[in-house]
Structure 1
Amino acid sequence: MNGGPVGVAVVGAGVISGQYLRNLTAFPDVRVLGVADLDAGRAAAAAREHGVPASGSLAEILALPEVEIVVNLTVPAAHAAVALESLRAGKHVYGEKPLALNLDEAAKVMAEAANRGLRVGGAPDTFLGPGLQTAAHTLRSGLIGEPVAVTVAFQNLGPESWHPDPEFYYRPGGGPLFDMGPYYLTALVSLLGPVARVAGSTRRARAERVVGSGPKAGTLFPVDVPTHVNALLDFPGTATATATFSFDSPVGRKLIEVIGTEGALLLPDPNTFGGPLLVRGPHDADWREVPVAESTAGRGVGVLDLARSLRAGTPHRASGELTLHVLELMEAITESGERAEFRTVTSAVTAPELLPGGWDPYASTLS
């Protein structure tokens, strides 16, 4: 398969799959060939809604020879197993975050891919949107001087008020750090490069939570992970970041502020693809807006970049190495909170290359 659109299959037809399928079926450089789910009816319904020709079990979808990339949208506990089965079937894999529940599982995925000459990619891909791409260009232009410090905050009362089936958010692989942390940590690594060491402090506010909507409303379920996390991250030769991730706060916050020697940048919400991006110099009375192109990106642009990179023989940006590094950061923060000590980060990654000017998800590069 040396040319033309790249065949893709989606595994997991849950809530997030609608966004992926809507975008992937609109990109000219990929062709969605199948949807798999443990619930065959749900897979069939998703396939019908988005005009996908096949649906069924994972094994049935992996048997389609035209499928080159499997997009793994299953729950975190299944990420590694689905990735390994897909790799063993000769498919590249792109997964929702986190890459796996822990580093041991993630290492097996990466080793399997390396042994088979296949690629691994993963969410989040929001750093490929014009908002964070413009932030990277602005930072590298020297507008705010050298980065010195970063403040990060994600805070709310948790997803159980709106999600009809929220238990998985409070199992291993969930919580505010593993659920929302990847957006913020990936944004930081894409801007500043890898983290060398971390410290963390964690707590669990309540042993149980209550489903707030849907058919399970009123149901109690256990909380197995920290729900409030504070972290300190050291970027070698550059900034130090402080971060808070919380499902215990009545005050909603979504913040990434980069302080430099000549000013500060206020970044967009890293769970989105657009702006606004704000800058403030040492003599400015207030923030001013940095122009950001209108976002045509959405969930799945990382899959598209992987597909185009496969055809071009170039590195993809939302890479397995990047997702592995972010997973190690989260695991090290959790371990630091348990042991009350700094933890060294050993995985190596470089900040992804910026997208070329004029990069357009809807203009084919494969002609």
Structure 2
Amino acid sequence: MSTSTSPRFPTATHSRELADRLWNAAAAGDEHTATDVVLRALDEGLDPESVLLDVIAKVQVRVGEEWAANRISVAQEHAATAINERAVTALSLHPTARRAPCRGPITVACVDGEWHALPARMLAEVLRLRGWQVDYLGAQVPAPHLISHLHTTKADAVALSASIPTRLPTAHAAITACQAIGVPVLVGGAAFGPDGRYAQLLGAQAWAPDARAAADRLAEAPLPRPRTDHQQLDDLPHLADQEYTLVARSSASLVRTVLLALPDAFPAMHGYDDVARERTAQDLAHIVEFLAAALYLDDEDLFTRFITWTARILQARNVAAQSLPPALNLFAHELKDFPRASRILRRGIEALTTDHTTAGTPV
């Protein structure tokens, strides 16, 4: 192991080389080689935070990109993610990554229903490297359990992670619950939008685009303490129309109705086997989930980003994305008495029509 008293920061070229080696190991399902890449880098004196964020995190981004492009399967994506998680564990146990806490307690958790835990785990490790006393609670933490934990630990702040926008209503409830007991909240993850717009809407004290920025923000100054008498959930007046609640509660019946009607609106579906029909039902369920999230946030762009992304995912798998506009039309017919839902669905149809990467998708 290197005897250097201060870590070396890898050059961009060296980081890319390490990331390529780690990717090759993760893609091959080779856990031993993957952890060896990380441990050798640390033994050579490379900065643990840089290895974590500029190597392991970059490889995890590539895992997602390769899955989206249909170059790896869901099983391969899960296996590669698991190997990256083990690489993070190996890094955290290395002598160069062990730091005595010199800052206050921070709780890091994923919101209830969010099972993409690796981003939160990476944040927890970065904070530990920077001297915070970290309680990492992992994936899918129900708000009551989180609050019970905060009562016990007296954390200075909570860092909540969410990757999927459909988890934002649950995230809002968790943010509000934390603030009700006086604990400030920093949020992060793709769910909150590329610019953190939903973090502000849902009343979080701070937002960060990545783990490094989150750690920097927490080091700048303490997060402002929330008012414990403020009812945050009342700050979304558009929810008074009950469209979000009614759509969310009727999700299963909406999916059944549209699935039954879709073959007449999209004749190619008559040739689907049971597996294809099951996948179509799953896609319809996702559409309703994202529609509900868009209603909760009163944000059409959330839905249009999702529906055009879905079209590209289907196209990469040689599945007919042309089934999406008929499906949205059927949902719009079922929800014709819901003005906001109808408007969002129309915007989704328009987005699919103008998206040149999907407009020509073959049936």
> Structure 1-normalised TM-score?
0.29
- Tell which structure's C-alpha radius of gyration is larger: 2
> Structure 2-normalised TM-score?
0.30
Pick the structure with more strand per residue. 1
Pick the structure with more helix per residue. 2
